[in-house]
Structure 1
Amino acid sequence: MTGALPAMAWRIATRVASPLLPLFLARRVRRGKEIAARLPERQGHGADRPPGRLVWLHAASVGESQSLLPLLTALARRAPDLHFLVTTGTVTSAALLAERLPPALAARTRHRFVPLDVPAWVARFLDTWRPDAGIFVESELWPNLIAAATARNIPLGLVNARLSKKATATWARLPGFAARVLGAFRLVAAQTHADADRLRQIGAAEVQSWGNLKAAAAPLPADPAELARLRTILAGRPVFVAASTHPGEEAAILAARPAGVLTILVPRHPDRGAEVAALAGAAPRRSLGATPGPADPVWVADTLGELGLWFRLAGAAFIGGSLVPLGGHNPLEAARLGCPVIFGPHMGNFSEAAALLLQAGGAIQVPDAAALAAEVAAVLTNARKAGDMVAAAMAAMGRPDGSEALPDRLAAVILPWLPPAEAAGVADAEPGASVAPG
């Protein structure tokens, strides 16, 4: 089975659904999930293509867009004439990308929200942006968008690819369709060996397993003045941070939090701040400018892009998405900042990173929230235990697994796909020449 019939069915279904999609987008605007003024981008409008060679990189949300930064840097360093288009699907990813891009790189980068997978909308997007190559990150596979890019002879790569067991089972029901979608990519580079095996199961012909771009990322930033201010306010208080939490986790953490400890709850989605604060008995909220008083046991950090601040303040960090079956979040971010790491049983999205830390003694895995309280208390009250965990994690992350070289390795594969600078009309571009963002 070639997958032609499911591909045709998907094209027809998205065309039929397209008149209703503006209502879907309007509902997302009301929920804060879209920006009203930028809704035309979801239909492929809003192109502002810079001259010369353009690499398009697509990432679904916050984690994926942040993993792009090392690759963007490597591509920009190797080809000073390149410009970049980054597409994402969420408001938070757009805001954090704008905050984290270095100024020189930001001047060479445009951001747009990815068009919904309607044939006419993706055609408009590709025909007006005319990218010279497209790079998809992780598991964001839109069949019409990929097929339209292939029809235009745009070389495509899938990097930092991952595929959960559930997604593998779903794609496996249509093996020809899966093979058709994955066959569009010249390069499929998986995060882990397990991801590579799952991608092969659903029809990816050649899969590389070169490591995780997130392991090559720079440490999360923090404002030095704000860090100093909060350290003064919290002086003498043991601090525990529950990072990137999801519904069902906050209540369990609150019920099991150690006595006498300030617990900082950082919901994965900041718009849940009011809900989380209510669970915590009207706890003060960072987004409202509140700081915890001496009698406040909980502080809700419902802001975007400040995990680097909380990991530097905390004596222990719980990694969210792991007490509920969501696959967890990146434990290396906290470990890289010298914060002892604890996570629950569900770490499938970062299985190799979790195993790396656990095998070295640089992290603790708990079966449930009840066990979490005892482990947090043990780490916060035993400086030697905490120090040993940090040292073990740092040693494990310093192993020569190739993660630091991965962005350059990917860039070396991608750049030959592009036309020569002369062919793109940029032979005379000066190193570092830039175009103001659109």
Structure 2
Amino acid sequence: MSLPLSLSLYRAATTALEPFAPLLLERRAKAGKEDRARLNERLGRPTTPRPAGPLVWLHGASVGESLSILPLVERLRTERPDVGVLVTSGTVTSAALLGRRLPTGAIHQFLPVDTPGGARRFLDHWRPDLAVFVESELWPNLLLTAKDRGVRLALVSAKLSDKSYRAWQARPFAAGRLFGGFDLILAQDGRAADRLTSLGGTVAGEADLKFGSAPLPVDAAALASLRVRLGDRPLLLAASTHPGEDELILAAWRALPDRPRLVIAPRHVERGPAIAEAARATGAGVALRSAAPDDPAEVIVADTLGELGLWCRLANLTLVAGSLVPGIGGHNP
């Protein structure tokens, strides 16, 4: 079956740009946005052997999506140990988190960039029987190549932002080809179901994996120790902040008559030093968690991975950021 014009142009463009992918990835690695030791995975050259037998591939774009599929991965490993489980993600932070929390036997790899060659190499190696995509990250070359090879496709916790929905509406034939290719679609809510249906998808029901997630893990010893060190002063947690939000939060915090201790946990931990500098500029005492984990400063920048469960349990009030500046869209609590 021939591709719609927009998908044909996309495939041609990604084919032409594929030789430049290593250079782009190297530049991203220098900026801390890629794991240099694992760049081959991003080019569709896996670094781990495929396990024998059937294989389920699950993809979550970043930390939130990756966390949401962990219960599903754990259940698969428990109930179907004969089935291999491959989990892909696209960010350094999600890779670090999955490296610590995936159950024994589950494999993590970075998703390859969406070029025809990368998609072919990835699928040649892993040969999944089922591919499960979470929320809304759709890569045409990977999806179309997988579909052509007979891989069963599922889209779960599916949603579309206003911007994405308008973009797909402008390309109805491409939307119909991609969304119509899924064997199963479970939408996050009724609004998402209506949008996906209008674009050519067949929605079987509603389900949001994030509601099935277990509470964030915590180190009990670290929790007890921090409770003692921090004392009785109330604690305000600003979680998953983005650039531009930290300054707003600091200004609002400074205006409080009886200031609580403030913990800022950025969405991307590499921003920690910059946030600490912004906090110091207000005259506050500041501690960077990665450099001074025992410092009970009045402003703590939580630039470590895997400790959000710790701060959530210590906080008297939590602000889930992502909606204080335009263009982000907010985060699920």
What TM-score do the two structures reach when normalised by structure 1?
0.71
CA distance in 2, matches of 1:166, 1:10: 19
1:234 to 191, 207, 230: 230
Q: Residue 109 in 1 paired to residue 106 in 2?
A: yes
- Equivalent residue pairs, number: 323
Deviation string 1:244-295 (CA, Å, 9 cap, x unpaired) is 11112111111111333101011110000011111101621001124444xx
Structure 1 residues 133-212: aligned runs within 5 Å = 133-204=130-201, 206-212=202-208
Q: Which moves more between the two structures, 251-260 or 8-17?
A: 251-260
* Alignment partners' CA distance in 1, 2:13 and 2:303: 38
Provide the alpha-carbon RMSD of the alignment.
1.4
- 1:82-133 Cα deviation digits (max 9, x unpaired): 11111111111111012222xxx3x221111111111111111101111111
Instruction: Say whether the 8 Å CA contact 1:3–1:179 is kept in structure 2.
Output: no
* 1:37-436 equivalence runs, <5 A: 37-46=37-46, 47-101=48-102, 105=103, 107-204=104-201, 206-257=202-253, 258=256, 259-281=258-280, 283-293=286-296, 296-325=297-326, 326-331=328-333
Asked if structure 2 preserves the Cα contact closer than 8 Å seen for 1:53 and 1:132, the reply is yes
How far apart are 1:23 and its partner, in Å?
1.3
The alignment partner of 1:251 has SS state of: helix
CA contact (8 A) 2:21 2:43 kept: no
SS in 2 for 1:120: helix
> Structure 2 CA distance, aligned partners of 1:39 and 1:50?
22
- Measure the CA separation in 2 of the matches of 1:167 and 1:79: 36
Describe the superposition over 1:281-340 as per-residue Cα deviations: whole angstroms up to 9, x where unpaired: 1621001124444xx431111111211000110100001102223222222xxxxxxxxx
Unmatched 5+ residue regions in structure 2? none
Supply the AA of the counterpart residue of 2:36: A
CA distance in 1, matches of 2:205, 2:183: 14
Query: 2:263–2:301: 8 Å Cα contact kept in structure 1?
Result: yes
Q: Percent identity?
A: 50
Amino acid at match of 1:324: V
- Aligned amino acid, residue 311 of structure 1: C
Q: Name the CA distance, whole Å, in 1 between partners of 2:205 and 2:107.
A: 30
State yes or no: 1:26 paired with 2:26.
yes
- 3-state SS of paired residue (1:304): coil
Q: Secondary structure at the match of 1:247?
A: coil
User: Deviations along 1:346-392, whole A, 9 cap, x unmatched?
Assistant: xxxxxxxxxxxxxxxxxxxxxxxxxxxxxxxxxxxxxxxxxxxxxxx
Aligned AA for 1:286? R
Secondary structure of 1:280's counterpart equals helix
Aligned 8 A contact 1:165 1:198 in 2 = no
Read off the aligned partner of 1:226 and give its amino acid letter: A
Measured in 1, the distance between the counterparts of 2:120 and 2:70 equals: 27
- Contact between 1:187 and 1:207, CA under 8 Å: does it hold in 2? yes
Give how far 1:3 is off: 5.5
Q: Which has the larger radius of gyration?
A: 1
Question: Structure 1 residues 181, 124: CA separation in 2 closer, same or farther (over 3 Å shift)?
Answer: same
Counterpart code for 2:317? A
